[in-house]
Structure 1
């Protein structure tokens, strides 16, 4: 004969503190899965948007027309499109201003794109610190519940004359569920954090490479325009 493990039964029989630990871990697990689904959607959308815009940018079309198209939906721009729009907007603003030296124009343009890049990375990295926190502390929270449960089980043995394994086993089993739940919350969070961090790094490199290439195009354009005017 063998008895089947029932997590619900073990939860019901556990002490108040161990129950609280289990509920905290369950909440952290649900929270981490919600964040994972959200980050997955955001990163996939960012990758698809970058690919579409990159194909559009390098298709050989007029940059002024592309800038106007982006400006018409400026509220919905993300990632590479937003970097392009902010850079070209600053480039046009500087050319129309009093300060038209090529170095000043390009410095201001590059700074505008760099600020936009940093803000976009902040959006992509949102919720990742929380995932990392859940992945790192969940096992320790579960271990705390396990230690407390085992300690309570052994303390209870002091009230009986003759201790047996059957008396202490249920209490230990209840306590070990806390460790299992801690690992259940931590492992997916750690895997997701590493996966998302890799995707963000790739997107950052993609954005940075585009920014440098776009900067080179504007740099040649502004110097050619300066020569033609002089």
Structure 2
């Protein structure tokens, strides 16, 4: 629920006293379907764990506004498997933790594929994603690096494009079963690196938003099995 509260912060103890609370929005749509409720809980937990303490007032207001908008989208947008990575990626972006999706994090070169992606581009090449450094690594820079997460370049392109879409434009986000699984794995590994733990709501969300198993992808040099 979105509440407007009045607190008494003039107490000598560290805890302020809640004097009044008024309901502004209930996000009733989140309670209409279990996947929506799980997605809302997941987004709130993700933001709560990763939001910086003592943030500047403007930053806190911006993040709060994003949280309200994300919950509204989760309660109203079409219930689609693509909704999760779209909102999850937007949450990381709002937190200032958006991963690099286009350029090699080592040399800065733009990654290019070697086969057609079905849309006139070249995005079928598998590249390695360096979770700790927050982005993909080109083939040249990947030499000698172990533990890279294999991901299709087309998946990275789709995630990058997702940041320009609203939840009402989900039909324009092209993510097949393999790309969905890659996106889920990438985003989960990425936020776990920053959190250090698995979110409690994540396992429930995984059960309610199942993704068909993809075909095994060809791993790039330096990737983990």
Tell me if both proteins adopt one fold, taking TM over 0.5 as the criterion: no
**What TM-score range do you get, normalising by the shorter chain?**
under 0.3
TM-score by length of 1: 0.22
- Specify the structure having the higher radius of gyration (Cα): 1
